[in-house]
Structure 1
Amino acid sequence: MYRDVSSCNTYNYGDALYWDARYIQEGGSFDWYQRYSALRPFVRNFIPLSSRILMVGCGNADLQMDVRDMSLFPDESFDGVIDKGTLDSLMCGTDAPISASQMLAEVCRLLKPGGTYILITYGDPTVRMPHLSRPVFNWKIMLYNIPRPGFQKPESSTPSRKSYLEPIPLSEKGLLPADFVLEDPDSHFIYVCKKINDTEIDTIPTYQLTADVL
């Protein structure tokens, strides 16, 4: 497992100086990666109402800490963890594999049994599944893909056969199907990782999202 350079070619997401300059440049609050309107179906379907949720991100927050060591919180403190780009930033650092492993171990520790980690990332399964699918985490993983905000398909393109609310069937190796085509090259992948017990692995179905929560 190596440093993920696929998301680091344009911006140095692993450099704190980049983020300091970014917030000065933006001059106010802004949505990072995806707006809530696009993520709402995933949050509402996979994290129960009135749940305790931890948001980890690269933006300003009331509480700041190192995601590789969140010992401020006891084990099994949250029903859900939502990550918009934090793992991507770690994957741009020089110690990417170690940092990613430390962060994901903390996320797993903080999740209650049955809790869900939702990762919004630029990383496709070739660079994210080796980290997420480690047996120690014991996560059931479902993958989705959504276009960036404001993306418009070319008029000449053929209609998509599937909605982005449908999970992508991964290959036996945890990779995208050979015939899978990204409509938007800069789209985001959403990994829904549910923390389960050994006895639940073969019994939990893959739920299809419904449009009535849009």
Structure 2
Amino acid sequence: MFRDVSACSTYNYGDSLYWDARYIQEANCGFFDWYQRYSALRPFVRKYISPSSRVLMVGCGNADIQMDVRDMSYFPDESFESVIDKGTLDSLMCGTGASISATQMLGEVNRLLLKPGGVYMLITYGDPTVRMPHIKRPVYSWNIDLYVIPKPGFQRPYGSTATNSLLEPIPTTEKGLLPPDYVIEDPDSHFIYVCKKMDETTHDTISIHPLVDDAMQR
């Protein structure tokens, strides 16, 4: 589990100075969404996260509270029902000491989630070959649902016969990888890992709502 170089060569995502400069540069550009727009993520959020949940959003930009995600001791154990991460783990994976940083961050996320039932929703460019080794560790006791969604603006080619549903979790192999016959239509797709915190005596009985949303229909 080393530094993830699959998408780190163009920009220095692992450097805090990069983010400081980027947000200063884009301060006058108006609101924007990193990775995916909320309209695309809404059905997943509604399925797994209750509106009344205490949710921690971790990100690389401006925030009400700024801290190192590798040490969030500001919050006591089991403080949140849900943690949503859009790109923060990705940034750590682009930095030096990536594996150690990822372990520290995920350990903190696991500590902060209620047990059982806490949900860590990771939105990332990292496919299962580079993300599952970090999140599919027995120490976390996470049941993981995997979704693949195309980059905003992607259109299926005319005449495409693909039957993959964006709204259904992908059956993965024992190691959490994509099935050998699974085809990712958009090479720039993002991956959503929904990690549900369980314990050794708890089965996956979390209430799940139907995943339906017009914004996801393409």
User: What displacement does 1:207 show?
Assistant: 5.6
Matched with 2:118 is 115
Structure 1 residue identity aligned to 2:91: S
Contact 1:79 / 1:116 at 8 angstroms: preserved in 2? Answer: yes
Moved more, 86-95 or 163-172: 163-172
Aligned to 2:6, the other structure's residue is in SS state helix
TM-score by length of 2: 0.91
Matched with 1:67 is 69
User: What displacement does 1:197 show?
Assistant: 1.3
Change (3 A) 1:126 1:206: farther
Structure 2 residue identity aligned to 1:13: Y
| Alpha-carbon separation, structure 2, partners of 1:32 and 1:117 | 18
Q: 1 or 2, which has the higher strand percentage?
A: 1
Aligned positions of 1:119-130 closer than 5 A: 119-130=122-133
Matched with 2:16 is 16
Contact 1:116 / 1:192 at 8 angstroms: preserved in 2? Answer: yes
Moved more, 162-171 or 81-90: 162-171
Aligned positions of 1:172-183 closer than 5 A: 172-183=174-185
| Alpha-carbon separation, structure 1, partners of 2:13 and 2:50 | 32
User: What displacement does 1:165 show?
Assistant: 0.8
Matched, 1:40 2:77: no
Change (3 A) 1:33 1:162: same
Aligned to 1:198, the other structure's residue is in SS state coil
| Alpha-carbon separation, structure 1, partners of 2:74 and 2:206 | 34
Pick aligned residue for 1:138 from 136, 141, 144: 141
User: What displacement does 1:70 show?
Assistant: 0.4
Matched with 1:164 is 166
Aligned positions of 1:194-213 closer than 5 A: 194-201=196-203, 203-204=204-205, 209-211=210-212
CA RMSD, Structure 1 to Structure 2 (Å): 1.8
User: What displacement does 1:210 show?
Assistant: 2.1
- Structure 1: runs of 5+ lacking an equivalent: none
Change (3 A) 1:142 1:36: same
Change (3 A) 1:120 1:191: same
| Alpha-carbon separation, structure 2, partners of 1:31 and 1:42 | 16
Structure 1 residue identity aligned to 2:92: L
Q: Which runs of 4+ in 1 moved over 6 A?
A: none
Identity of aligned residues (%): 71
Matched, 1:99 2:101: yes
| Alpha-carbon separation, structure 1, partners of 2:83 and 2:14 | 21
Deviations 1:100-121 (A, max 9, x none): 0000000000000111000000
Matched with 2:192 is 190
| Alpha-carbon separation, structure 2, partners of 1:24 and 1:154 | 38
Deviations 1:74-95 (A, max 9, x none): 0000000000000000000111
Contact 2:47 / 2:209 at 8 angstroms: preserved in 1? Answer: no
Moved more, 18-27 or 98-107: 18-27
